[in-house]
């Protein structure tokens, strides 16, 4: 079957990267360091610059893998994830005040925890059994299912989030249509995704840390804006999106490039007693977008 761009429906493309990974649950964890491993070939659209897999894996294969995905490192890093949530929601609340909020693909629920602190009435959807179990341990209303199988009522939410989710979806446009259905009049969508058009992504190419087995879409600012507008959204706000993690976490990611470099960084942090310090370096290779249906 010929490739068609998921954003603009163009059919002309150039190969960007190639790989031969499989959709193994161990590769789908957020702390994966399998940089440069992808599920086949990734191509760049000549018309809009969007990058996606040339051939998508079967949806049922991905669904089974996400259901089995787990990552204990996420629990260790929850303090930073909640702080990221607080900073993220401060941007959203420029446009809407707290109300009903659903996070589609909430993982262990850190965004929901941050939102609950700020007065939002929260619910989450998460396909990973491990992730949704952990979210419920935190006292959250989280359903173990996929973003399009939740049965939530239309027009019930002031805010719908898909944070680090759209890049995993074979049909991201369908997700935007569903989100529009869920939003109340005046409600907004929150998205965070890696930015393949960023200077760092272009410099590192397939060794960029967001080139991973679980990602099937790679958005630029322009391609994401085009997709949103094609599905009836007005983009309200775009900025880079730095994540808060422990210094140890960022040092661990270096293993995807060099075990020696990772061990040296870890030893230095231990010597300085800085391993658990929360840091938020902005590499300017991720974007946060707030949008509203027209």
- The DSSP symbol for 172 reads H
Across the range 219-233, mean pLDDT stands at 98
- Give the SS3 label for residue 9: coil
Report CA 180 to chain centroid distance, whole Å.
Answer: 19
Q: How far lies 74's CA from each of 88, 246, 290, in Å?
A: 18, 11, 25
Which tokens in the block code for residue 143? 């359903």
Report CA 237 to chain centroid distance, whole Å.
Answer: 17
Distance CA 151, CA 208 (A): 37
Query: So what's the pLDDT on residue 114?
Result: 98
- The DSSP symbol for 195 reads B
**Phi, psi of 216, deg, nearest 5:** -115, -10
- Give the SS3 label for residue 241: coil
Residue whose tokens read 């440069």: 36
- The DSSP symbol for 219 reads B
| Pair 37, 19: CB distance under 8 Å | yes
Query: So what's the pLDDT on residue 27?
Result: 65
Comparing CA positions, the residue from 28, 6, 212, 177 lying closest to residue 104 is 177
Please count the CA atoms within 13 angstroms of the CA of 73 that sit on its side-chain side. 17
Q: How far lies 258's CA from each of 34, 55, 226, 275, in Å?
A: 12, 30, 37, 19
Residues found in the chain: 294
Q: Which residues does residue 160 pair with via DSSP β-bridges, in sequence order?
A: 102, 189
pLDDT digits (tens, 9 = 90+) for 128-145: 999 999 999 999 999 999
pLDDT digits (tens, 9 = 90+) for 21-71: 665 655 667 778 888 888 889 999 999 999 999 999 888 888 888 999 999
Distance CA 25, CA 62 (A): 9
Residue whose tokens read 């941007």: 91
Distance CA 206, CA 39 (A): 13
All structural domains of the chain, each given as residue ranges with its CATH number in brackets, are 13-293 (3.40.50.150)
Query: Does the model's pTM come out above 0.85?
Result: yes
Query: So what's the pLDDT on residue 20?
Result: 63
Distance CA 209, CA 25 (A): 18
Query: So what's the pLDDT on residue 25?
Result: 59
Query: So what's the pLDDT on residue 33?
Result: 83
Distance CA 125, CA 143 (A): 5
pLDDT digits (tens, 9 = 90+) for 158-196: 999 999 999 999 999 999 999 999 999 999 999 999 999
Distance CA 23, CA 58 (A): 10
């Amino acid at each position: 079957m010929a490739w068609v761009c998921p954003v603009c429906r163009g059919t002309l493309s150039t190969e960007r990267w190639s790989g031969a990974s499989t959709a193994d649950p161990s590769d789908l964890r957020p702390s994966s360091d399998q940089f440069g491993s992808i599920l086949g070939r990734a191509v760049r659209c000549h018309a809009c610059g969007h990058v996606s897999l040339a051939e998508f894996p079967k949806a049922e294969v991905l669904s089974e893998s996400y259901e089995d995905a787990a990552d204990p490192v996420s629990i260790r890093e929850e303090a930073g994830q909640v702080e990221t949530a607080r900073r993220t929601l401060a941007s959203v609340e420029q446009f809407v005040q707290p109300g009903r909020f659903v996070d589609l693909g909430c993982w262990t629920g850190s965004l929901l925890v941050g939102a609950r602190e700020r007065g939002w009435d929260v619910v989450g959807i998460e396909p990973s059994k491990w992730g949704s179990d952990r979210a419920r341990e935190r006292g959250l209303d989280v359903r173990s299912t996929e973003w399009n199988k939740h049965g939530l009522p239309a027009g019930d939410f002031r805010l719908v989030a898909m944070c680090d989710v759209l890049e995993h979806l074979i049909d991201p446009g369908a997700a935007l249509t569903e989100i529009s259905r869920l939003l109340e009049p005046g409600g907004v969508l929150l998205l965070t995704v890696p930015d393949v058009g960023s200077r760092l992504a272009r410099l590192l190419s397939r060794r960029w840390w967001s080139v991973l087995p679980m990602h099937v879409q790679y958005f630029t600012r322009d391609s994401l804006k085009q997709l949103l507008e094609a599905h009836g959204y007005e983009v309200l706000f775009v900025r880079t999106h730095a994540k808060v993690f422990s210094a140890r976490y960022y040092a661990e990611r270096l293993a995807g490039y060099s075990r020696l470099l990772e061990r040296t960084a870890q030893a230095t942090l231990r010597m300085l007693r800085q391993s658990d310090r929360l840091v938020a370096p902005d590499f300017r290779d991720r974007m946060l977008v707030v949008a509203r249906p027209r």
